[in-house]
Amino acid sequence: MATSLEELLDKQALHELLMRYCRGVDRNDAELLASVYHSDAYDDHGIYRGDAHGFVEWVLGRQEGTRSSMHCILNEYFTLDGDVAHGECYFVWCATSPEDAAAPPELTMTGGRYIDRFERRDGEWRIARRQVVLEWGRVFLQTEAPLDAFVSARRDRSDPSYLELDDARP
């Protein structure tokens, strides 16, 4: 029973690490994104291959021109071996182009898998190595939707997800 509980807690920690990764990228939060990698981690995103520190700078710089970004983690599969774990998770990433009156807005969607080696060091799981496997990608022209009724997303720490909702009701 204790081993099963420990395995469940480790897998939950790995899941939460993946969620922090998504939030870090989507909110342009360099500190949060860097927290998912060990300092000597290596990331192979295809068009970026190198250390995790460089990846954080690269991916956030690349997203400066997007209006919004959304990562969705789908299937997760982890194997545990002491302080090392291997994982495969499916992802879908969507991003919208910057507002430009001269060009219609675009929506970029890609899907693939993150193949990860996680290591627990000093009691904390982080990514030691990542390989991105791209399955598909597509760019669509966007049609305008009545979005003005919704709270706007922010690409920084002023995003509503950083605020705690109180129980005040309208």
**CATH code of 46's domain:** 3.10.450.50
pLDDT at 161 over 50: yes
**Please, are residues 106 and 96 in contact by the beta-carbon 8 Å criterion?**
yes
Confirm whether 141 is domain-assigned. Answer: yes
Q: Which residues pair with 120 in a beta bridge?
A: 125
pLDDT of amino acid 166? 59
Encode pLDDT of 54-84 as tens digits: 999 999 998 877 888 899 999 999 999 999 9
The letter for the amino acid at 17 is: L
pLDDT of amino acid 169? 47
Kindly report the CA angle at 96 between 92 and 97, in degrees rounded to 5?
140
Q: Report which of 161, 133, 153, 155 is spatially closest to residue 25, judged by C-alpha positions.
A: 155
52: tokens are 């995790």
Spatial neighbors of 101 by CB under 8 A, at least 6 apart, are none
Spatial neighbors of 32 by CB under 8 A, at least 6 apart, are 20, 23, 24
Confirm whether 83 is domain-assigned. Answer: yes
pLDDT of amino acid 90? 95
Confirm whether 124 is domain-assigned. Answer: yes
Domain span including residue 102: 2-162
pLDDT of amino acid 164? 66
The CA radius of gyration of the chain, in Å to the nearest whole number, is 18
52/127 Cα distance (integer angstroms): 9
pLDDT of amino acid 96? 86
Confirm whether 168 is domain-assigned. Answer: no
pLDDT of amino acid 70? 93
157: tokens are 């720490």
Angstrom CA distances, 41 to 1, 8, 51, 118, 125, stand at: 33, 25, 6, 10, 12
Torsions phi, psi of 153, nearest 5?
A: -75, 150
Confirm whether 169 is domain-assigned. Answer: no
pTM score, whole prediction: 0.84
118/128 Cα distance (integer angstroms): 5
Torsions phi, psi of 80, nearest 5?
A: -115, 140
The letter for the amino acid at 99 is: E
Give how many domains the chain has, as a whole number.
Answer: 1
